[in-house]
Amino acid sequence: MGSLRMTTPRLMALRAFLDDPGQERYGLDLAVQAGLEPGTVYPILVAFETVGWLTSREEEIDVHAAGRPRRRYYQLTAAGVTAARDALAAAEKRRNARAGSRRLAW
């Protein structure tokens, strides 16, 4: 299981996934829920999938009947849930530490 450098958009995506860890989401749906710019979400999803935090599957539809291509649904793995919680906790800790150091400076 790999690790990732955490950026604000990645943390936003993880927070959205953790709102309901068992739910499968497609890219646009997740971007909207996370408050990300639609269109920027796929590098985040691929990064998470590459380190095993997400699994994905192709939607099972008749593309001609649906009139659009298949979507890909993403879901947190068990390791992904743990990693996401750890990453958010670490980010929260850093933010608190920064806030604390500012208070000391004042």
Partner 1 sequence: MVTRAMPTAGLPLLERAAVTALARLLPAGFRDRQRDEWTADLMTLASHGAAVRWRYLLAAMWTLPTLRSLVRSGRAGGPSGAVAAPVALALTARVLILGLGWPVMSWLFGVALRYVVYDVPARLEAGMTFDPKDLWPTDGVWVALTPLWIMLSLGAWAAVLGGPFLIGSLGLVATVAGPLRRGQSGRQRLTAALAGVGALAFVVGFFVLVGLFPTVLAEPGDYLISADARSGVTVGLLGVASIVFAAKARALAGRTRAALLLVGAGAVIVMLAHHVPLGVSMNIWFMD
Task: Select from 66, 78, 89, 90 the one that contacts partner 1 (CB under 8 A).
Answer: 66
Please, what is the minimum distance in Å from the beta carbon of residue 16 to partner 1?
A: 16
First-to-last alpha carbon distance for the chain, in angstroms, is: 42
- 76's enclosing H/E stretch is strand 72-76
35 binds partner 1 (CB under 8 A): no
Q: List residues binding partner 1 (CB under 8 A).
A: 1-2, 26-28, 37-40, 42-43, 46-47, 49-52, 55-56, 58, 63-64, 66-72
